[in-house]
Amino acid sequence: MHILLAALALVAIIAYWIFRTGQTTQSSGTALEAPQDVKAAANRFGYKALLNQHPTESVDDPRVTGAALLILVAEIDGGISRAEKESIEEQLRKVFELSESDSKELYVFAKWIASQSSNQDDMIRRLIMRTVKLGGRDTIPDMMQMVNAVGRADTGTLTDDTQQVIERLKQLLN
């Protein structure tokens, strides 16, 4: 009887490790897909990394820098909630007139751009300036409306940090 119990225990251990190995393979496959998604989106939006330049300076599409700004606004309070992500994608579809798949692709690339600086305040400043440089002052009202919508996505109210982003944009109108 004890031999039968030992054999069953051995089979259970082997099954457990086979299951764990399969889970690891699946999760690493997902992790490997993310950089490929970013590369594909970068190519689609014409991104070419330049030596000795901040990544925002290599972006030539104001939609990318504007979307990255929205990502940072959503992250101000500690992370991007489902409501904020949906709001960002909705704003990208509505304001930039993108399809659902294009808005998701832009979101992935913008999230990568937004992560390229450890100083969030500096990155927000860079993204605002780059978006205005690429899109002109006419982009500011749209950016203010988008920041406002994303900032209100979770609680219905704006945080002080989000209000400061809107104030920075207003200052550029004067």
pTM of the model: 0.71
pLDDT of 67 reads 94
User: Exposed, middle or buried by CB within 10 Å (0-12, 13-18, 19+), for 146?
Assistant: buried
Measure Cα distances from 8 to 4, 12, 161 in Å: 6, 6, 59
Residue 56 has pLDDT above 80, yes or no: no
Could you read off the pLDDT of 130-157 as tens digits, one per residue?
A: 999 999 999 999 999 999 999 999 889 9
Sequence spans of domains, the chain: 1-32, 55-173
Query: Nearest-CA neighbor of 60 among 137, 111, 135?
Result: 135
Residue 8 has pLDDT above 60, yes or no: no
pLDDT of 33 reads 45
